[in-house]
Structure 1
Amino acid sequence: MTQNVSETEQFEVREPEMQRIPFVFNSPHSGRIYAQSFLDQSRLDDLSIRRSEDHFVDELFHSVTDLGAPLLLAHFPRAFLDVNREPYELDPRMFDGPLPPHANISSLRVAGGLGTVPRLVAENMEIYRGRVPVAEALERIETIYKPYHACLRRLIARTHVQFGLAVLIDCHSMPGNVRLAGSGQRPDFIIGDRYGTSASADLSRAAVSLLEDLGFSVARNKPYAGGFITEHYGRPARGLHALQIEINRGLYVDETTLRKKPDFTTLSQAIAVFLGGLAAHVEKYVTNSSLAAE
Structure 2
Amino acid sequence: MTPSWLTVIRNTAPLIVSLPHTGTDLAHVEDDVVSPWLARKDCDWWIDRLYDFAADLGATVVHTAISRTVIDVNRDPSGASLYPGQTTTGLCPTESFDGEPLYKPGHEPSPSEIDRRRAVYFAPYHAALEAEIARLRAMHGKIVLYDCHSIRSVLPRLFEGTLPVFNLGTNDGRSADPVLVETVAALMAATGESHVVNGRFKGGWITRHHGQPANGVHALQMELSCRGYLREPAAPRHPGNWPVAYEPDFAAPIRRTLTGILESARDWAARV
Residues 218 and 120 (structure 1 numbering): CA distance in 2 closer, same or farther, change over 3 Å? same
Unpaired segments ≥5 residues, structure 2? none
CA–CA distance in 2 between the matches of 1:245 and 1:234?
Answer: 14
| Identical columns (%) | 27
Q: In 2 relative to 1, CA 277–136 (structure 1 residues): closer, same or farther, beyond 3 Å?
A: closer
**1:271 and 2:263 correspond:** no
Among residues 60, 69, 76, which one is paired with 1:86 in the alignment?
76
In the alignment, structure 1 residue 133 sits paired with structure 2 residue 110: yes
CA displacement 1:181-216 (0-9 Å, x = unmatched): 89x664111111111110011111111211232343
Residue 29 of structure 2 is matched in structure 1 by 38
Residues 33-182 of structure 1 correspond to what in structure 2 (within 5 A)?
33-35=25-27, 37-42=28-33, 44-89=34-79, 112=87, 114-129=89-104, 130=106, 131-177=108-154
Which residue is 1:211 aligned to? 188
Q: Once the 2 structures are TM-superposed, how far is the Cα of residue 75 of structure 1 from its aligned partner?
A: 0.5
C-alpha displacement of 1:222: 0.6
Q: What is the CA RMSD across the aligned residues, in angstroms?
A: 2.9
Q: Contact (CA 8 Å) 2:144, 2:265: kept in 1 or not?
A: no
Pair 249,161 (structure 1): closer, same or farther in 2 beyond 3 Å: same
Distance 1:285 1:40 in 2: 46
* Cα offset, 1:287, TM superposition: 4.3
CA distance in 1, matches of 2:179, 2:201: 19
1:108 and 1:211 map into 2 onto residues whose CA distance is 24
**What SS does the aligned partner of 1:146 have?**
helix
Name the CA shift for 1:221/1:11 in 2 (closer, same or farther; >3 Å).
same
Rounded to whole Å, the distance in 1 between the matches of 2:87 and 2:162 is 25
Report if aligned partners of 1:253, 1:259 keep a CA contact under 8 Å in 2. no
- String of CA shifts for 1:96-123, please: whole Å, max 9, x gaps: xxxxxxxx5x776799562211121210
CA deviations 1:10-39 (Å, max 9, x no partner) are 221134xx42x211000101101223x312
Moved more, 108-117 or 209-218: 108-117
Task: Give the alignment's TM-score, normalised by structure 2.
Answer: 0.84
Partner of 2:202: 225
Change (3 A) 1:110 1:212: closer
- State the aligned residue count: 262
Name structure 1 gaps, 5 residues minimum: 1-6, 90-103, 289-294
Higher relative contact order (CA 8 A, sep 6+): 2
1-structure distance, mates of 2:165, 2:31: 36
Structure with max Cα Rg = 1
Selected match of 1:11 from 6, 12, 25: 6
| Alignment partners' CA distance in 2, 1:211 and 1:33 | 32
1:259 match: 243
User: SS at the partner of 1:66?
Assistant: helix
Please give the alpha-carbon distance, in whole angstroms, between the structure 2 residues aligned to 1:235 and 1:65: 23
Amino acid at match of 1:271: R
